[in-house]
Structure 1
Amino acid sequence: MVITVVCFLLVLAVPTTAVTVNENPANDDISLEPTSPYATTTDDGQLELDFDALNDRAVSTFDDVFEITVTDDSVERIWLSDAPDGVQFYQDGNAHDRIDETSPLEAAAGETTTVGVTVSTHADPPSSGTFTLHAEYEDEGEDEKSANIELVEMTTVDRAVTAGETLTVQATYENHGDVSGTTVAQLTVDGVVVDEQVVSVGAGETETVTFERTMQQSGTFAVGVDDGEPKTVTAQPPDEPAPDFDVTDADLAADSIAQSESTRVTATVENTGNATGEFLAELAVGGIVVNDRSVELEPNESDTVTFEWQFDEPGTYDVAVSGLEAGTVTVGEPREYEVLNRVFSSPSVAVVGLSGAVGMLFVAGVVRRRWNL
């Protein structure tokens, strides 16, 4: 027999992102502890996660935000589900290793797993919502049921398109398990994640998702889904009067910065076609598109696009603009600053503004056990 522990969380829109989780579940089988500046324990014993000033139309990642420790040998699996749109949880510093029903935690008693959070602001955050934390306990007499979803086919409607046309890519998933489940389909171009969709697949069923990608530049590209073998797609230069674009001179202003600092990324975009057109330059950090800029150019005209990107976690990140490598940036620990006393003439008013801040407030309720018969 399987027991599921469920945490219910209330979501409210505020100018920052905050997540509050009950730190000490009633059964003491699982403990949650803060491990970063983004996590604190409130006076009433709850774990609160607070992310300030998120970038607009971007995906922000926060590694090692809090940790989950299993304290009971009977806990078999732990996963998180029903998170608001744009919010995902992942484990051990790998943003692609999400914590969900298809990829649960399977820690034994005494083991600890670090949990990170990604917040996407490409869509408006919800004004309310919930997410659920599950912990399964298995009896010796009952077999565990689970989803087992895999990519079984990836096709492109047309392997040869003209620059400016839309490429259609279809991915088919099959669930070999005995319960329904979800997975995240990721479209890649030359190894960079440029789009993603959540796929729900019933037990023993298949589901096909469709991606549409405008090929803005002529050339040859490797287009794939997830970790499957990519297919070669050729975008021909346009014959009729039409724009065509080339990206050159991608550059990083600084290749070594401290945590929470930002660096400037620039690239030159040229319209090599014979008609005026608009190009959407995409900034990729760590192999994932995180921001974009639009520029309109006449034939033979060029312009510089500029991105300012803040790095919230230490590490080494590859940076590129529309597939062109700009370099690698190394993010170190936060700098230490000397605090100086400063006297302001009276009267003085200090105003602090957070531009583009988007977020949510998550408040956890009481952990309950539910018997699944």
Structure 2
Amino acid sequence: MRRREYVTAVGSSVGALTATGIGQAQRRLERVLPADSDTAVRPGGELVFEAAATPGFDPPATEWWIDGDGAAEVAPAAPFWSYTHRTGNPTAHGQFDEPGTYEVVVAADGATASWRVTVADDAPAAPSATVTCDPGPAATITTRDELTVTATATDDSGVLERVFWQEGRNATYVDSVDISGADARVTYTTTAGDAIWFIGGYPMMAWVVCRDGRVSVARTEGPSIEAMRDVRITGTNAPVRAGEDLVVDAELEIDGDSTYHGFVEATLELIVGHDPTHVDSTTVEVFAGQTETVSLEFTTATVRNTQTFPVRVETRHTAAETDVTVIGTDDEGAGQLTVTNLSTNAPVTGGDWLEVTATLANTGEGPVSREVELVVGHDPTTVDSQQVALDAGETTTVSLGYETYPVVNDDEFPVRVRTGDDSASRSVLVYGRDRDGNGESGEARFSVSITGTNAPVDGGDWLEVTATVENLGDTAASHDVELVVGRSPEVVDSRTVGLPAGQTATVSLGYETYPVTNDDTFPVTVRSPHSSDTRTVTVRGTG
């Protein structure tokens, strides 16, 4: 039986064709996929048809039909509705079950394009396609972590043409990339917050299309994606007298998609001291995309001498830290030297003098004399100091500095001015000596980004951290990538990674945790000589 099936595509509910108006450019439809007018497919095979409309129009009012004996159908809607809508190119998907010859036609504004399809057992086979996601379905990551989906395609005829990326539940078009030859491997990379189909538990599809329209589709599941619980300390009531309550105010921000995350439960922990001690926690529910201000507190010890120590607010994913001062019972009425302003001459070039200027104020009730120190680096080192004496209410400005190391590559690190009563810090940048006149380094520069961990783990179990390493420079190189754990940083694992310029690698680092009695939450950092990334992890106590 010979038949003619009409299907109205995106943007039109009118079945009749519209004549080109007077004075308008003549509409043309040109074949894109298949590129030629004749193509062939095996029984049960599928084809993708795409035409380029000139001049373009959005959305396209098009009709598709198919003539021929036997079972065949063409569908201009899903899975290529959103692609047509985005590009203006009428696109359809057809399946041909029985041998024979068919004509597929698309029409728009009086213009037409057509293809002759031969369905035969000796036609080329469909291309093969596989697709994987990194991190995979077993992982849990945050909305700020990166996802990489990889499609691998093979075609015996050697005419690979394109990969269409689609969200796999609603067939929403995401992106496409041109390929060629008999074998191809392409990736699609995005942050988890943009991959809403994975957040909703949807798969991702890769449609592998050949130049003659033959197509295969593969799909992959992605990781679980949870909202990012970010935190920053907004203030404290320090300095306080020994024995009084110290209050730390923090702002919690939930970075997620409200459609999929809604209200998110977050626990904030307050940890104090050079020998970190957990002193308070609170759990709140915050709607995704919103912020919440919380207060954490503890009663300070009745100490005789004034003490300055760090306080840290942690969530599951991030942490914020500042220094506070508790005035000892023997120092009540004495002076307190606080840092009210901090500035530097950074960025400087490696080997040059880095100068840090601080404004100091005596906010106490009596005179004060303190040694003020400049401390630099991720592994803190005191590089300069100066004795400062002030009467109550007085202020002064001090300049501290040192000659930076002549690093080859750019280096970013913290500098801190501390008085014994107070401290302030900021991050500075030292340019590598190999920078050219445009401020760009021709050397290799390894950027690192943590993509996931297997935390929480039980004390004594293996803690694994996965990270992506990318060579952002212009030359190939090998560098050590280290895993550093704890608040007193300790290198527990390392890998030597070799990368050509512009290339990326994934590394897994880990170590056997200590069998602690109580739960322990602490930072883990993956670092290269040029970059670092930190996450907070929990080891569950065995008690």
Q: Same fold (TM over 0.5)?
A: no
Larger radius of gyration: 2
Bigger fraction of residues in strand: 2
Asked which structure has the greater RCO (Cα within 8 Å, sep 6+), the reply is 1
TM-score w.r.t. structure 1 length?
0.35
TM-score w.r.t. structure 2 length?
0.26
